[in-house]
Amino acid sequence: MTETLSSARELSRALEAMQRQLLEAALRRPRYEVLPLDGTADAVVDHVPREVTVTVTASPRRGMEPTLALSESLARQGYRVVPHLAARLVIDESHLRDMLCRISEAGIRDIFVIAGDGEPAGVFPDSLRLLSALREGQGDGLGQHLEQVGVAGYPEGHPDVSDAQLTRALLAKQPSSTYLVTQLCFSARTVSAWVDRMRAAGVSLPVYPGVAGVVDQRKLLRVAQRIGVGQSVRFLRKHHGLLRLLSPGGYRPDGLVRELASRLAPSADDMAGLHVYTLGAVAATERWRREALEQTLEAVDRHRSRRRRVAPPSRYSALALVRHGVTGQAWPRAWDRHEPRDGYDVVIVGGGVHGLATAYYLATNHGIDNVAVLEKSYIGSGGSGRNTAILRSNYLTAEGVQFYDRSLQLYRRLAEELNFNVMFSRRGHLTLAHSDASLRTMRWRAEVNKLSGVDSEVIDADEVQRLVPYLDTSTAARYPILGALYHPPGGIIRHDAVVWGYARAASAFGVHVHQDTEVTGIDVNDGRVRGVQTTRGPIAAPIVVNATAGWSSLISAMAGVRMPVQTFPLQAAVTEPVRPFLHTVVVSGTLHVYMSQTARGEIVFGASVDPFASYSTRGSLDFLEGLASHVLELMPSLATLRVLRQWAGLCDMTPDFAPIMGRTHVEGFLVDVGWGTYGFKAGPVSGEAMAECIATGRTPELISAFGLHRFAEGELVGEKGAAAVGH
């Protein structure tokens, strides 16, 4: 009985997790359906981030031309675009061929085929006829470039066609299509019952449920009545839905989307994504999506931390402090010492934040705990214990911004999650502009940031002065400050506490952390990894992860994998402590310098990497002289402050200043490297994504741009403008 109850509980927990994952994926990368009207391109570019797919409808009145023109224009701007091909607007096969040619030249690989309204303008009376032409013409190259072809589904039926006919038509279209988008719908129950009916009839295409965006209610009701969405509108009117429809600010699909995820969750194909009918309200719909995504991510994190409480590390609390003080009892070891096993499921080389976070998320998010982290020295002895601990997400590319933003979200909750004070301190981050050219780059970055929902703005010199009164903002300065990119969520953290917190929590969940254990070789046989050779003997493992930052090319070479990285020393310095006066992180790319004040009062300075490649970690006088002169340009009042210490760490720089993450051509050998001067802030998100990659065998979307293959394919990420100095 107890066993049955616990497996029922397990099942319900697994289902809940699936629902949340489905919801998160659907909100992260939805499809927005837009109308081909004047102003749509601007509305999309101004408000919609590139991870959203844009589908462009076809207007029976204006023909296919506006659809094609808008699709081409959005594809040029970097969007994944899906033009709707309305069969009744296509004149003949040569018209179809011309359109597909334009679509292919625009780099578009996905079309959505519908019948369209009104009398046929040519030889295709319905979508089935057009799909058949496509299929027959394939040998002849027609539409050969297409990877996806979508067709419509009607959960509430069609005003002019019977349900039986609709099902027969879908079965006939199935061999020529790859997914289904449903007609606008307001009831999750209706959609899920329809999906069940379709599956029973033999339709196995993945389904994208179609929901309305945040749209003016009258317009929505008009559209719903016109397209024959009857039942669910009637249902909504009768019940609470009417209130939702008539609420100020327009209709919001929150409840419907959540219910769809909860009803369709057991199969990812039943809700392959979300198709949002924006009906002209692009900006409002995008605002809603961001809020809904943020709330979902918070719920996912809360849910995961609750799950982790099943076996958390022992608690540090005020009570425990008193108890240990009074009794003199020794504190338990933060992480256990073990003899290495003969083999593990996963071996991670490198005991920095990346290696330890990957081990932690493998154990907690995926239940994989037969994991070893091998560290040649002590944990945190590499970059993770030498960095200047600056956190931010105001990068230059959309891929970078979303990735680092997720890391900041995880960092904000890390102390609570690990029950370890990692001293995260939100300070705000200023990147100074000393020229018109850098102001232009700041504006560009601010726009990219805002599109991904990240708080960044360009501020003028007066505002800079208000935030950091000690900066020399006078026009007499040698490099006058014209303004800055201000990023309020940026801040600092205590780097070694992060390393210790992850190590302690990973160890509590069963991970083995082996210090003083150097990897000296990697065993590869028949193109796949078999294990590692270490100074403490051989260890077998089907999966080996290289998380060694400044040593990454040496470790990868052991597995026969070449890395496009060069290793440079990066130096930093710290002054004696003084009273808190610098509350913001300040970076000047032009002067190659940045500074922040620690909780203890020291001023931490850094700069860009040394000018030559090397594995040396010695400080140099040259660096200190350059640093001091640049710092004093910015803040002359620091002239009497004494420098206490300077040090260096190793940084593996990639050609595009972005990391290299994921699988390699050697099966089972993964890399999480190329972290240059900016990888500490990425520790949590990298650990989370690498753990997912290992556990599921799939590369998570968030890191898909950072694969090693990008260098061979020429698809570089281009982060130099935001990562060269401002770590």
Q: Which residues bind ligand FAD (CB under 6 A)?
A: 349-355, 374-377, 381-384, 386-390, 518-519, 547-551, 555, 570, 572, 606, 649, 651, 675, 677-681, 727
Q: Which is nearer to ligand FAD, 143 or 351 (CB)?
A: 351
Q: How far is the CB of 452 from ligand FAD (least distance, A)?
A: 18
Phi-psi region of 228 (alpha: psi -120 to 50; beta: other; left: phi over 0): left
Q: Which is nearer to ligand FAD, 195 or 390 (CB)?
A: 390
- Nearest by Cα to 89 from 111, 56, 67: 67
Q: How far is the CB of 30 from ligand FAD (least distance, A)?
A: 31
Buried b (16+ CB within 10 A) or exposed e, 324-355: eeeeeeeeeebbeeeebeeebebbbbbbbbbb
Q: How far is the CB of 592 from ligand FAD (least distance, A)?
A: 13
Q: Which is nearer to ligand FAD, 153 or 385 (CB)?
A: 385
Q: Which is nearer to ligand FAD, 181 or 529 (CB)?
A: 529
Q: How far is the CB of 222 from ligand FAD (least distance, A)?
A: 51
Q: How far is the CB of 398 from ligand FAD (least distance, A)?
A: 19
Q: How far is the CB of 378 from ligand FAD (least distance, A)?
A: 8
| Cα separation, 272 vs 207, whole angstroms | 6
**Distance, first Cα to last Cα, the chain:** 56
Q: Which is nearer to ligand FAD, 384 or 699 (CB)?
A: 384
Q: How far is the CB of 575 from ligand FAD (least distance, A)?
A: 15
| Cα separation, 606 vs 647, whole angstroms | 10
Q: Is 200 exposed, middle or buried (0-12, 13-18, 19+ CB in 10 A)?
A: exposed
Could you say which DSSP state residue 558 is in? Answer: H
Q: How far is the CB of 558 from ligand FAD (least distance, A)?
A: 8
Q: How far is the CB of 350 from ligand FAD (least distance, A)?
A: 3
Structure tokens at 109: 């690989």
Residues 6+ apart with CB under 8 A from 97: 137, 142
Q: Which is nearer to ligand FAD, 374 or 634 (CB)?
A: 374
| Cα separation, 110 vs 386, whole angstroms | 47
Report the DSSP beta bridge partners of residue 123: none
Q: How far is the CB of 520 from ligand FAD (least distance, A)?
A: 7
Q: Which is nearer to ligand FAD, 36 or 380 (CB)?
A: 380
Q: Which is nearer to ligand FAD, 228 or 626 (CB)?
A: 626
Q: Which is nearer to ligand FAD, 30 or 550 (CB)?
A: 550
**The tokens 């008193």 sit on which residue?**
322
Residues 445 and 485: beta-carbon distance below 8 Å: yes
Q: Which is nearer to ligand FAD, 173 or 445 (CB)?
A: 445
Q: Provide the CB-side half-sphere exposure for 530 (13 A, CA).
A: 8
Structure tokens at 212: 């309305």
| Cα separation, 392 vs 142, whole angstroms | 48
| Cα separation, 683 vs 675, whole angstroms | 10
Residues 520 and 554: beta-carbon distance below 8 Å: no
Buried b (16+ CB within 10 A) or exposed e, 664-685: bebebbbbbbbbbbbbbbbbbb
